[in-house]
Amino acid sequence: MKVLEDFPSVQLPLEWLPPMKTRAFSISSSPLAHPNQVHLTVSVVSLTTPFKRNRAGLCSAWLANLDPSKGFLMDEHSLCALWGIHRRKGLQSQSTSTAPVMFFFGCRNEENDFLYKDFWLSLAENDGVLSESEGGGFFVAFSRDQPWKVYVQDKMRERGHQVWSLMNSGAAVYVAGSSTKMPSDVWSALEDVVVKEGEVPKDSAVRWLRSLEKSGRYHVEAWS
Ligand SMILES: NC(=O)c1ccc[n+]([C@@H]2O[C@H](COP(=O)([O-])OP(=O)(O)OC[C@H]3O[C@@H](n4cnc5c(N)ncnc54)[C@H](OP(=O)(O)O)[C@@H]3O)[C@@H](O)[C@H]2O)c1
């Protein structure tokens, strides 16, 4: 539509235009922690075109301008790390026993995009759901805060023993983030962890991880 505004002499019948692309967003809150609310964590897209015009992302800007007190309806549900952790926290506050959680968080810089920093850190303290005293842990990988890349899978390899121990005692794996290379690299790191800590050959490790996937204990939510 914006292109057509730039060229008003072009009279294109509206029905020739393709339908607008669907945008999928992850729900980042749990109904246990926030009953009757849905939280979305969205980066508002804003850019300058080659013609030096400022443009905002259609859906992200629309969301950012909504009045939360008025509410809106959604028809899709999906899971992400934040949702899961909120849920665990909700269960813990209801004194329901929760299994240990290891959470690996990766972003570019601690300074700019360590989203929910205070929330994560508070859960890693005392007897929080991510605390080591509860058998879990919180691990960060800031990829661009040093001259070499550090990614979540590097942190998983470092903590391979604990990762294996949780997975082997029934833990589920949730992978959320960019769909380009991250999910396959995380999978490879877990293969290495299973080989090393489980002392099995690579093909057995692959079969074991696939069986987790089949039984609903390995989930990937990725976007590009
Ligand atoms: N302008 C900004 O400052 C800024 C900051 C964050 C996000 N964004 C934009 O927001 C959008 C979404 O961001 P996002 O957080 O989903 O993605 P992202 O920032 O592109 O990636 C998140 C983290 O994953 C890392 N990563 C890249 N390849 C990986 C791999 N193979 N395995 C494991 N980790 C890997 C990234 O490191 P590296 O990228 O360092 O390799 C980064 O630390 C992107 O389109 C991005 O352009 C902009």
Say which CATH number the domain at 142 has.
3.40.50.80
What is the predicted pLDDT for the residue at 92? 72
Q: Number of folded domains in the chain?
A: 1
Q: Where are the alpha helices (DSSP H) in 20-109?
A: 58-64, 81-93
Say if ligand 1 is within 6 A of residue 181 CB: yes
Say if ligand 1 is within 6 A of residue 43 CB: yes
Report the C-alpha dihedral over residues 119, 124, 129, 132, rounded to 10 degrees.
Answer: 170
Residue 43 lies in a domain: no
pLDDT in tens, 130-145: 999 989 999 999 999 9
Of all atoms in ligand 1, which is nearest to the CA of residue 141?
43
pLDDT in tens, 148-169: 999 999 999 999 999 999 999 9
Residue 55 lies in a domain: no
Residue 142's domain comprises 99-223
C-alpha 108 – ligand 1 centre gap (Å): 6
Say if ligand 1 is within 6 A of residue 197 CB: no
Say if ligand 1 is within 6 A of residue 152 CB: yes
| CA–CA separation, 197 and 190 (whole Å) | 10
Say if ligand 1 is within 6 A of residue 106 CB: yes
Q: What is the mean pLDDT of the chain?
A: 89
| CA–CA separation, 123 and 137 (whole Å) | 9
C-alpha 147 – ligand 1 centre gap (Å): 16
Residue 119 lies in a domain: yes
Residue 210 lies in a domain: yes
Residue 178 pLDDT greater than 60, yes or no: yes
Residue 25 lies in a domain: no
Residue 122 lies in a domain: yes
Lowest mean pLDDT across 20-24, 25-29, 71-75, 148-152: 71-75
What is the predicted pLDDT for the residue at 79? 46
